[in-house]
Amino acid sequence: MQYTKFGRTGLTVSRLCLGTMTFGLQTDEAASHAILDRTAEAGVNFIDLADVYPLGADNSLVGRTEEVVGRWLKGRRDQFIVATKACGEMGPSPWDKGASRKHLLSAIDASLDRIGTDYVDLYQLHSDDTDTPIDETLEALDTIVKSGKARYVGVSNYLAYRLARALGRADVLRVARFVSVQPRYNLLFRQIERELLPLASEEGLAVIPYNPLAGGLLTGKYRHDAAPTEGRFTSATVGKAGAMYQQRYWHEREFETIEALKGIAKDAGESLTRLSLAWVLANPTVTSAIIGASRVEQLTETLGTVDYTLPPELKAKLDDASHAYRWGDAAR
């Protein structure tokens, strides 16, 4: 395993981070713990959670992933960098979601209780709550950091202009500043290269992208003319999230691109899975890529990719084949 500094902080994390959103629904507790065991053996010290997980959960299931991981962490909490997120809907009341002071101060306590820890290393806003003044959110997060319940704060699914504004307001208010951003990023979704990644580079933010394999589509195992029967593209395994993943990626153009990428991988003598993940890690702005699994055997290729160096000429071919997914290269 390789390790790196987490943006401009003094924190050191593995270049692969274990995503846990399948734990507790798509993946039962025994399999989840086996996945955690395998990644820990490989040297992964970074675990990413969210209070709304597992993926596709309704209000009766939210929080289960934190509980599953919390039971595994017992007795070894100090060996891992633990991140979780808040903002999603956790209950029936209007204040059971969002980034208000009321919700965030309650949400951090609930997450800590489920994980069974006194603090998380990274506390992230899972999405942007435009209905709450950013100053209120920043001051609430500052309270959480100063209380010792979180070491650092970050964001996920933020537009560049909103993140830039939040960083500026944090400087003005002299409160805890976001140190990281968690965006969706892969060969089929490259929009963040235009503004978000340059902002992260200039501000020294850690970048921890999720969906590096486009929910499994970039493994090359699916066909557009065959309905999915397992994985993240079906409601049978991830409930309501199956439709979301189909909306993201299940399109004729994406499958045409995958065929081109398969050809590149075949010529290189490598798997499409390895090349897709290596391409994300090859971006110098990326700190740690979030990998997921529903079965231990799915980790074999992804864990090994961290030691693979993508040749520049091969990266250029992948760049060219997926260039259309940058959306907005024109300067004017």
What is the spatial distance between Cα 14 and Cα 80, in angstroms, rounded to a whole number?
Answer: 10
Buried/exposed 138-151: b ≥16 CB within 10 Å, e otherwise = bbbbbbbbeeebbb
HSE (CB half, 13 Å, CA atoms) of 53?
Answer: 23
Question: Residue 198: what residue type?
Answer: P
Q: What secondary structure letter does DSSP report for 81?
A: E
Pairing of strands 3-5, 12-14: antiparallel
| Active site (annotated) includes residue 158 | no
Is the Cβ–Cβ distance between 86 and 126 less than 8 Å? yes
Q: State the DSSP H helix or E strand holding residue 182, giving kind and residue range, or none if neither.
A: strand 178-182
Which is the catalytic residue, given 53, 123, 185, 222?
A: 53
159-162: long-range pairs with CB below 8 Å, 24+: 159/128, 159/196, 160/192, 160/195, 160/196, 160/199, 161/195, 162/128, 162/130, 162/134
Number of Cβ atoms within 10 Å of the Cβ of 20: 28
Phi, psi (5° rounding) for residue 180? -150, 160
Token readout for 268 is 């290189």
Pairing of strands 178-182, 206-207: parallel
What is the spatial distance between Cα 171 and Cα 164, in angstroms, rounded to a whole number?
Answer: 11
What is the spatial distance between Cα 104 and Cα 37, in angstroms, rounded to a whole number?
Answer: 31
Collapse the DSSP code of 86 into the 3-class scheme (helix H, G, I; strand E, B; otherwise coil) and give the result: strand
Is there a cis peptide before residue 54, judged by omega within 30 degrees of 0? yes
Cα 164 from chain centre: 20
Active site residues: 53
